[in-house]
Structures are given as structure tokens and as C-alpha cells.
């Protein structure tokens, strides 16, 4: 049995904890505390990491790690990205500047994005049509990146599985050099 590590990152409230919980076979480990960031109305926020896992049909195990969303915890982003085979960046399209939010993570993980497959999951597209998925693709192009961008509802396991399958397909296609995931 092989074990693989996938990193979930994105802004506070984008759904990292929810996404991991949606597909984890075990109750996820979370490090949520009462939110004291007055710029966000979210009641609780992750300050360490989220962790969940599931087993692929072939018996391999996927370990999912979620980062804190606030930039003040960016030192954890680098720690948690070690040995990951791929990254999922979640964005919340209802925020005031979701493309600016995406830029924070593209810049914060610039080195990792040179060698890791990544998929962008855009949430709350149904309630906020602007920006649209093409605007996200254009933003990625400004960073000289070509990455899959998917509209998702992280509460739906099939949407989270689609993001994970997108990462695994990039690895299988040989688009990135595979890490051992340990």
C-alpha cells in the first residue's frame, strides 16, 4: 500500500475543512478556534491544520492536509506542503476580490507550483457570477500557469473527488515528476 499527501489551501472560509470532511473516511482532525479576525464573519477558523484520509480502489491511501487560510500562518503553508504530490487551491467567489485572493496563494506557493500538479476549485459561483471561470484561467495565464479550474461545492463529496481525480490525472499523464508522498 502506498500513501500520498494532497494539500488543500485557500482563503479563510473557502471550504478546506469542509472539503476534507466531505471525503474523509475517518472524522477529520481539525485545529479550529474561535475566529478573532474582524475582517471575516466566520465563527471558527483553522490555525494549525486539517487532516483526513481515504482509500483508493487499489488500496492506496490518500492523506489530505488543509492549511490555515490566513496569511499570518503562511509559515505553516511551507511545512504542510512538504512531500505533497499535489495541491488544491480553493477560492470563494463571493469574496470582494477572489482573483486577488488566488494571487496570494499563487505567489505563496510559487516554488511548489513549479513541480506539483494543482487544481483550482472555485466555490460559490452559483451566487456570484463574476468573476467567471474564464477570468480565473486568465489570472493563471498572467502567472504563466496552465491549471484546471473547476466550479465546485465542497460540501458535495463528488465535487471534492473530482478535484482529487484531476490532480491524480495530471500525475498519471506525466505532466509533473511524481513525489513519493511520504
Q: For residue range 36-67, what is the model confidence (pLDDT) as tens digits?
A: 666 666 666 665 789 999 998 899 999 999 99
CB 50, CB 28: distance < 8 Å: yes
Do 92 and 11 form a contact (C-beta atoms < 8 A)? Answer: yes
Q: Which domains does the chain have, with CATH numbers?
A: 3-172 (3.40.50.300)
Residues 119-135 have pLDDT tens digits of: 999 999 887 678 999 99
As a whole number of angstroms, the distance between CA 141 and CA 138 comes to 5
Q: What is the pTM of this model?
A: 0.88
pLDDT of residue 64: 97
Alpha helices in 1-132 (DSSP H): 16-23, 74-81, 98-108, 110-113
Q: Supply the pLDDT for residue 136.
A: 97
DSSP annotation of 29 reads B
| pLDDT confidence band for 150 (50 / 70 / 90) | very high
Contacts of 75 by beta carbon, 8 Å cutoff, 6+ apart: none
Region 64-81: mean pLDDT is 89
What is the per-residue pLDDT for 175? 72
State whether residue 93 is helix, strand or coil: coil
Average per-residue pLDDT for the chain: 88
Amino acid at each position: 500500500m502506498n500513501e500520498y499527501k494532497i494539500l488543500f489551501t485557500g482563503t479563510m472560509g473557502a471550504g478546506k475543512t469542509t472539503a476534507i470532511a466531505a471525503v474523509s473516511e475517518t472524522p477529520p482532525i481539525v485545529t479550529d478556534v474561535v475566529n478573532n479576525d474582524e475582517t471575516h464573519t466566520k465563527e471558527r477558523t483553522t490555525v494549525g491544520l486539517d487532516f483526513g484520509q481515504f482509500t483508493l480502489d487499489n488500496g492506496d491511501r490518500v492523506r489530505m492536509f488543509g492549511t490555515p487560510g490566513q496569511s499570518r500562518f503562511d509559515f505553516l503553508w511551507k511545512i504542510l506542503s512538504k512531500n505533497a504530490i499535489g495541491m488544491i487551491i480553493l477560492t470563494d467567489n463571493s469574496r470582494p476580490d477572489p482573483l486577488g485572493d488566488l494571487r496570494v496563494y499563487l505567489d505563496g506557493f510559487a516554488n511548489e507550483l513549479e513541480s506539483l500538479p494543482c487544481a483550482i476549485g472555485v466555490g460559490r459561483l452559483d451566487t456570484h457570477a463574476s468573476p467567471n471561470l474564464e477570468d480565473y484561467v486568465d489570472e493563471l495565464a498572467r502567472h504563466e500557469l496552465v491549471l484546471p479550474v473547476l466550479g465546485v461545492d465542497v460540501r458535495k463529496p463528488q465535487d471534492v473527488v473530482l478535484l482529487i481525480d484531476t490532480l491524480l490525472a495530471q500525475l498519471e499523464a506525466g505532466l509533473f515528476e511524481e513525489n513519493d508522498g511520504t
